[in-house]
Amino acid sequence: MNDVSPLVDAAVPGLPTATVVLKPKRARPFFGRHPWVLDSAVAKVEGGPADGDVVDLTTHDGHFVARGLWNSQSRIRVRLYAFDAATKLDDALWRGRIAAAVALRRSLGLDDRTGAARLVNSEGDDLSGLIVDRYGEYLAVQVTALAMAVRLETICDALDAEVAPRGILLRGAERGLAKLEGLALADRLIRGTAPSGPIFVVEHGLKFGVDLAEGQKTGYYLDQRDNRQAAARHARGRRVLDMFCYSGGFAVACAVSGGARSVLAIDTSEKAAALARANAGLNGAANVTVEAVDAFEKLDALAAAGERFGMIVLDPPKFARSRAAVDDALRAYHRINRVAVGLLEPGGILVTCSCSGSVTRDHFHQMLSGVAQRAGRSIQILESRGAAADHPVSVSCLEGEYLTCVIARVP
């Protein structure tokens, strides 16, 4: 117990140790409650805050704007957590925010101990830099900000109090992100016990094995939970292709909930393919075939062979890692969607996703318009969806809205 990060300081104070002064005319986003103060907006720092300390943010002429946590190693110099001077950033605040986040999931009906849900979604729960996913009796915590890393013990106490998990596992932040924050966190068990192998969670009545220790993200793609069911509603009797299937979420939903005729699921990772096969078996879906091959090559091979599908799911990894990469990403999305449309029989269903935050929903719809033009076929958007409700997005930080899932019909 309590074997947490060496960064932990039990006596992290809740009141500011320094003042961060903004450049003139740079305060507006923060009056608008945006939580990220970039280094380029900062004029000077009064006092010598240590990384993770509480600081006050002021305008260039000394007016209070907000209160946040300092990190000299990140381009996000200050993450803001309160917009009034009366709120202390102390343990009680973190506990209260975590309790509120957990209560929201309870009200969404996502507190079933056999299921899985995102309990804390960073800015969406006013806890910038903290992600907590619950898989049955276990929690996977991901910290993407040093400010949260130094408060891990308080966070775990709050999670213990709110959900009493069997174990809390720390999953390292995405490598790039961790480097940006100056974080060095290895994956490890931080509270309780770890599961001895994969665990099983129920999603909309389907069972999925999740590898908490080694799986992608924190083990599973919870954000697509409701999109899998939405896709499955169109699958009846169809031949389905699930591209970038990971552990087979869409494939199993289409086969079992949706009544697809057959499903071909593709992922380049052998591990993912094995998980998908196991998950198909677990749900008695004998008509799911999984191949561990490259999706781009497979799409071309299927097209060359003149294959046709009644439904195609495209859920690729993030194509755009930054704003500068948006054009390249849109070209890549265009390419796979163009090939997929060519593989669809008349009246076929295209379920096409982007988890690139810098590719907006508008960009994505425009990309599909380009595909329709090139393919010489209409594309009807039936639904344009986002992440499930346990992934709330703060209107003050729309950067948190990263997932687009379009369900379209191609006449």
The residues annotated as belonging to the active site are: 355
Nearer to ligand SAH among residue 152 and residue 275 (C-beta): 275
CB of 240 to ligand SAH, least distance (A): 12
CB of 212 to ligand SAH, least distance (A): 15
Nearer to ligand SAH among residue 39 and residue 294 (C-beta): 294
Nearer to ligand SAH among residue 183 and residue 275 (C-beta): 275
Binding site for ligand SAH (CB under 6 A): 216, 221, 224, 244-247, 249-250, 266-269, 272, 294-296, 315-317
Nearer to ligand SAH among residue 81 and residue 246 (C-beta): 246
CB of 2 to ligand SAH, least distance (A): 34
Which two tokens mark 107? 């009200």
CB of 269 to ligand SAH, least distance (A): 4
CB of 185 to ligand SAH, least distance (A): 23
22 vs 238: CA distance, rounded Å = 58
Nearer to ligand SAH among residue 155 and residue 290 (C-beta): 290
